[in-house]
Amino acid sequence: MAQPHSGNSTPKPTAWSPLRQPVFRALWIASVASNVGTWMHEVGAAWLMTSLASSPIMVALMQTATSLPIFLLALPAGALADIVDRRRLLIAAQLWMLVAAFLLGLLTLAGATTPWLLVGLTFTLGLGGAMTMPTWQAIVPELVPRSELVSAVTLGGLGFNLARAVGPALGGLIVAAAGAGSVFILNAVSFLGVVVVLYCWRRPARVSVLPAERMIGAMRSGLRYVRHAPALHAVLARSSLFILCGSALWALLPLLARRELGIGAVGYGVLLGCLGAGAITGGAALPAVRRAFTPDMLVVGASLLFAVVLAALATLRNFVPLCIVMFIGGMAWLTLLSSFNSCAQAAVPAWVRGRALAVYLLVFLADRLSVAPCGEQSRSIVESLPPSFMRPWDWQQDLLSRCVIGWENWERN
C-alpha cells in the first residue's frame, strides 16, 4: 500500500484533499463501515436493555459502561500510543472488540443475555474503544500533510456522523426484523475492514532522538506537559463544560423514544439518523462557515444552538418536529466536536500527542459518567442505594483526589 504522503508538491488543500492520501482514504472508508456497525450495536444494545429491564438507571448505565473505560484507561492508552507501535496497538484493540461483540451476539441469539451481562460486555467493548481512541487520534497527522490536518479532522467527524446517519436507522430495521443478536454479529464483522487496512499499512519506522520511555514515566511526562500547556487548557475547559450538559441527550434518548413518544426501534433509529444527517450537513458547510466566523464565534454559536435543541427535546412530543430538532442538533454537535478536536490536535507536539489527546478525550468523556443517574425516577432509585454504589460524582472525586496525591508524590520524588 502506498505511503500516506511524500515530499512532492501537492495540489492546494481543500475540504476533501485528505482523501487523496491512499492510507487515509482506505482507513476512512473502513472506519465509516466500522462505525456503522458500532451505531447499529448502540441501537441494539440500548433497545435490548429496555426490553430486559424497565429501570431507567439500567438504561442509563449503558452510557456509563461505554464511557467508564475511557475514564480509566485513556491516559495509559495514550502513553502506550506514544511508546509502542501505534499500528499494532490498533490492530490488537480492533480484534479485542471483534471478539467481545461476537460473544455478545452469540449469547443474545441463544437467549442467554441478562441486563448485567449486557452491561458487562458493553464495558468490555468500551475497553477496546478506550485503547483505540487516543491512538487513532494520534495517527491522523502521520496520514496527511500538516496543511491538511484540519480537513482530515473534519472528514473524520463527517465519516463518524455519516455512520451515525446510516447506522441507527439500519440498526433499528435489523433489530425489528432479526433481533439485537444479529446486530451484534454484524458489528463484529465490521471490525475486520479496519484490521485489514491497518495490517496492509506499512508504517514508516519511527526515528526518535529522545530516550526510550516506560509506561509510568510516559504518563508522568504526559501529565506534566498538559499541566503546562495553556492552549490545551482552553480546549479542555470548553469541551468539558459542553459535554457535561450535552450528554444528557444520549443517555435519555432511548427512554424518550419508548416512554414519552411510544415509538419502536425503527423510530428511535430514525431520530438518531436525523442527528447524524444534520452532522453531515453541518460538516459539509463547515469550511465555508469557518471562513466567515472565528473559532470562538463558532463554539459560542453552536453551544447556544445545542442548548435550544435540548430545551426543545424536553418539551416537544411530536415525532416530526423532534426529527427536525435532532437534525439541527447534529449540525451543532459536529461543529463543536470538529472545533475542539482540531484545536487539540494543533496544540500538541508529536512526541506527546497520544498522551495529550488521551487527556483531551478523558476530560471530554468523563463528564458523560455524571449523566447516568438523571431524571426523577432514576434519582429515587439512586437515593435508595448505598452511598458507595452508583454515585459517579462521589467516586470520580475520590479517584481524582487519589490522582492528585499520586501526582504530588511523583513530584516530590
Q: Do the domain assignments include residue 362? A: yes
The pLDDT of residue 65:
85
Give the DSSP per-residue string, 358-388.
Answer: HHHHHHHHHGGGGGTT-SHHHHHHHHTS-TT
The answer, yes or no, to whether residue 390 has pLDDT greater than 70, is no
201 DSSP assignment: -
Q: Do the domain assignments include residue 6? A: no
What is the pLDDT averaged over residues 99-121? 91
The pLDDT of residue 340:
84
The answer, yes or no, to whether residue 218 has pLDDT greater than 50, is yes
Q: Compute CA 295 distance to the chain's CA centroid, rounded to the nearest angstrom.
A: 22
Number of domain units in the chain: 1
Cβ neighbourhood burial of 396 (10 Å; 0-12, 13-18, 19+): middle
Who wins on pLDDT, 193 or 149? 193
Angle between helices 56-83 and 86-109 (to 10 degrees): 160
Q: Do the domain assignments include residue 83? A: yes
The answer, yes or no, to whether residue 136 has pLDDT greater than 60, is yes
Rounded to whole angstroms, the Cα distance separating 85 from 135 reads 10
CATH number for 401: 1.20.1250.20
Question: Tens digit of pLDDT for each residue in 337-371?
Answer: 888 887 787 777 777 777 888 788 777 665 555 55
CA proximity to 234, closest of 333, 344, 342, 335: 344
Measured CA to CA in angstroms, residue 92 lies from 82, 247, 248, 267, 354 at distances of 16, 29, 32, 35, 17
Rounded to whole angstroms, the Cα distance separating 42 from 45 reads 5
Q: Give the contacts of 220 (CB within 8 A, at least 6 positions apart).
A: 410
For residues 335 and 292, is the Cβ–Cβ distance under 8 A? no
Q: For the range 392-401, what are the long-range contacts, defined as Cβ-Cβ under 8 Å and sequence gap of 24 or more?
A: 392/64, 396/71, 396/366, 396/369, 396/370
Rounded to whole angstroms, the Cα distance separating 306 from 330 reads 9
Give the DSSP per-residue string, 20-74.
Answer: GSHHHHHHHHHHHHHHHHHHHHHHHHHHHHHHH---HHHHHHHHHHHHHHHHHHH
The answer, yes or no, to whether residue 379 has pLDDT greater than 70, is no
Rounded to whole angstroms, the Cα distance separating 390 from 394 reads 9
The pLDDT of residue 6:
46
The answer, yes or no, to whether residue 240 has pLDDT greater than 50, is yes
CB atoms near residue 335 (< 10 Å): 26
Question: Tens digit of pLDDT for each residue in 248-257?
Answer: 777 777 777 8
The pLDDT of residue 187:
93
The pLDDT of residue 205:
64
Where do we find the cell 488521551?
358
Question: Tens digit of pLDDT for each residue in 122-133?
Answer: 999 999 988 888
Flag the least confident range among 21-25, 261-265, 292-296: 261-265
Q: Compute CA 413 distance to the chain's CA centroid, rounded to the nearest angstrom.
A: 36
The pLDDT of residue 127:
92
The pLDDT of residue 378:
38
Q: Do the domain assignments include residue 1? A: no
Angle between helices 265-292 and 248-255 (to 10 degrees): 160
Confidence of residue 213 (pLDDT cuts 50, 70, 90): low
For residues 307 and 359, is the Cβ–Cβ distance under 8 A? no
What is the pLDDT averaged over residues 17-36? 88
Range of the domain at 66: 17-203+212-412
% residues pLDDT > 70 (the chain): 81
Cβ neighbourhood burial of 351 (10 Å; 0-12, 13-18, 19+): middle
Q: Do the domain assignments include residue 3? A: no
The answer, yes or no, to whether residue 167 has pLDDT greater than 80, is yes
For residues 45 and 62, is the Cβ–Cβ distance under 8 A? yes
The pLDDT of residue 210:
55
Measured CA to CA in angstroms, residue 81 lies from 87, 157, 274, 362 at distances of 9, 21, 34, 15
Confidence of residue 30 (pLDDT cuts 50, 70, 90): very high
Q: Do the domain assignments include residue 282? A: yes
Q: Do the domain assignments include residue 11? A: no
Who wins on pLDDT, 235 or 105? 105
The pLDDT of residue 384:
36
Q: Do the domain assignments include residue 46? A: yes
Global pTM exceeds 0.75: no
Confidence of residue 400 (pLDDT cuts 50, 70, 90): very low
CB atoms near residue 8 (< 10 Å): 5
Question: Tens digit of pLDDT for each residue in 301-342?
Answer: 998 999 999 888 888 888 889 899 999 998 898 888 888 887
What is the pLDDT averaged over residues 105-122? 91
Mean pLDDT computed over every residue of the chain: 77
The pLDDT of residue 13:
58
Question: Tens digit of pLDDT for each residue in 4-26?
Answer: 444 444 455 566 778 888 888 99
